[in-house]
Structure 1
Amino acid sequence: MTELAGKVAIVTGASSGIGRGIAERFVAEGAAVVVADVRDDEGQALTAELNAGGGTARFRHTDVGDQAAVRELVETTVATFGGLHVMVNNAGISSPLKKGLFHEDLEEFDRVMRVNLLGVMAGTRDAARHMAEHGGGSVINLGSIGGIQAGGGVSTYRASKAAIIHFTKCAAIELAHYEVRVNCIAPGNIPTPILASSATDEDRERLERFEARIRAQMRDDRPLKREGTAADVAEAALYLATDRSRYVTGVVLPVDGGTVAGKVIPRKPPPGTTPS
């Protein structure tokens, strides 16, 4: 398990959920990983765990909505480990769960866009500046199937994820000359803490019932019935981080059990068999 041996990676929003899964997978493959997050206790605990297991990890408090903080994150990583080969722009937040568009006051618009979109744009730019002068690299942006498929609710979140997808393609075209590959992973139906963060205070007592209903709907809409995990997304990130994807850039890779491919159709018996 040495696909990333000698490589240096940054994973933002790495203290939990998908970011944690990616950080763990990268360390297991031999990368030196900078765990970047605003949650100090969780981030430091993960870093200690990774190092105790024989890996190499450092924690850096980073608010990706602050461009100066993102620039310092990249500069500190290069100074500490001597380079940067993989940038995973994973940090993100959800917009509040409201009862419908008519009830949406858009108070969280600036905050959601600053973290979800500006953080990705700044992270891509600052990582690519270094990569362009040092032989290239891989930038992996985390979108969502919510940015591919339209749907009701959390409209600001969906808009931010759609913008990430378009930005990723634009950046891929511009940076290809420098051997910097830029791709997007669009997870779907992956249980993470972000869904809980979308609930407003008055919704919290109903969140458990709401989440159970949403998860059930997701299972019904998903062709593959196995539940997705952060580890599944981490496998996709590993592929995009390595030389196995050296001719891949500007793609959006859904990791969603086939959800965006289309609705589930009723199961039919194989050809040539007689229905019982």
Structure 2
Amino acid sequence: MGDDLSGKVAVVTGGASGIGRAIVERFLAEGARVVIGDVDAERGTALAAEYGADAVFLRTDVAEPDQLTALVERAIDAFGGLHVMCNNAGVSGTMHRGFLHDDLADFDRVMRINVRGVMLGTRLAARHMADNGGGSVINLSSIGGIQAGGGVMTYRASKAAVIQFTKSAAIELAYHEVRVNCLAPGNIPTPFLASSASAMSEEQMARYTTAVRAKMREDRPLQREGTPEDVAEAALYLASERSVYVTGTILPIDGGTTAGMAIRRKSRSNGDTPKSGS
């Protein structure tokens, strides 16, 4: 496809499926060598095998500091450096009937993975990058960290924390030529949504995900559906030399959802013109 990342080494956490897989494949297509971290060893091993010597998989739970440390060290040992760190791994919270019914039982787990995992991954990568000419750190948040809303409160709080951390780290690490940016996907069809409804029956989960997707389409200004590949394109930009003057940025990839509610106009016929304010 191209050579935007020729000679670069990247780490992608949560890289075995969904958005993470799309980022891995896009980076590889642009000439990078990639170390994939994920808890799904079967998918991760298969993905690395597809790409031969340019991809390495290491089973990694980002909630475990030693495993995340080993992942970064693997990239440096296997490929001689680290230029791009993509902290993509994350989990959803459990969906409850409402906040008053939320027992917060998953708080520690969500925060360890979604927040501490990102912070630790950033620090580990930046320590190497600071001594080796800089680099790019890309953290994955969500529009749930930008827009307030009901449901999965711990998840929303964790993704908001990623945004604030990204801005703060960008300021501090700029001295070392380490750029830190954040992607905030929204309305991207992946299995991630269903994970928040894991306590539901299969039939309830199907109804839930269908209803949520329909609401997302209704709210989204752009009518086309987003894809993991759309997020991967944004990650490529932030990883490449094209963004050397970009840091501390939060980029929503959401079809305009965070910009405002969609305006749906009826199709006009017979020369009708819209009324003022429509």
Please classify the TM superposition score into its range, dividing by the shorter chain length.
over 0.9
The answer for the alignment partner of 2:247 in structure 1 is 249
CA drift of 1:204 comes to: 3.8
The superposition leaves residues 162-211 of structure 1 with CA deviations (integer Å, 9 ceiling, x where unpaired) of 00000000000000000000000000000111111111424443011111
- In the TM superposition, 1:91-102 aligns within 5 A as 91-102=89-100
Q: Does 2:56 align with 1:58?
A: yes
Equivalent position of 1:159 in the other structure: 157
Deviations 1:64-92 (A, max 9, x none): 01112111111121011000000000000
Counterpart residue number, 2:15: 14
- Are positions 1:259 and 2:257 aligned together? yes
| Alpha-carbon distance between aligned partners in 2 of 1:236 and 1:130, rounded to the nearest angstrom | 24
State the shift of 1:248 in Å: 0.3
Q: Which amino acid aligns with 1:260?
A: T
1:143 corresponds to: 141
* 3-state SS, counterpart of residue 111 of structure 1: helix
**Alpha-carbon distance in structure 2 between the residues aligned to 1:133 and 1:89:** 20
What is the identity, as a one-letter code, of the residue corresponding to 2:188? I
Distance 2:266 2:273 in 1: 9
Select between 21-30 and 203-212 the one with higher mean Cα deviation: 203-212
Matching of residue 173 in structure 1 with residue 171 in structure 2: yes
Q: From the superposition, tell whether residues 213 and 202 of structure 1 become closer, same or farther in structure 2 (CA, over 3 Å).
A: closer
Map 1:19-38; keep pairs closer than 5 Å.
19-38=20-39
Gaps of 5+ in 2: none
Q: Given that residues 198 and 205 in structure 2 are in contact (C-alpha distance below 8 angstroms), is that contact kept between their aligned partners in structure 1?
A: no
Amino acid at match of 1:14: G
1:198 is aligned to 2:177: no
1:269 and 1:98 map into 2 onto residues whose CA distance is: 39
Cα deviation, 1:229-275, whole Å, max 9, x if unaligned, reads 000000000000001100000000000000000011243889xx753
Equivalent residue number for residue 113 of structure 2: 115
In the alignment, what sits opposite 1:234?
232
Cα separation, 2, equivalents of 1:125 and 1:38: 21
What amino acid is aligned across from residue 173 of structure 1 in structure 2? Answer: I
User: 2:67 aligned to 47, 66, 69, which one?
Assistant: 69
Count residues with an aligned counterpart: 271
Residue 201 of structure 1 aligns to a residue whose secondary structure is coil
Q: Structure 1 CA distance, aligned partners of 2:93 and 2:201?
A: 13
The CA distance in 2 between the partners of 1:137 and 1:128, in whole Å, is 8
C-alpha root-mean-square deviation of aligned residues, in Å?
Answer: 1.5
- Identity among equivalent pairs (%): 63
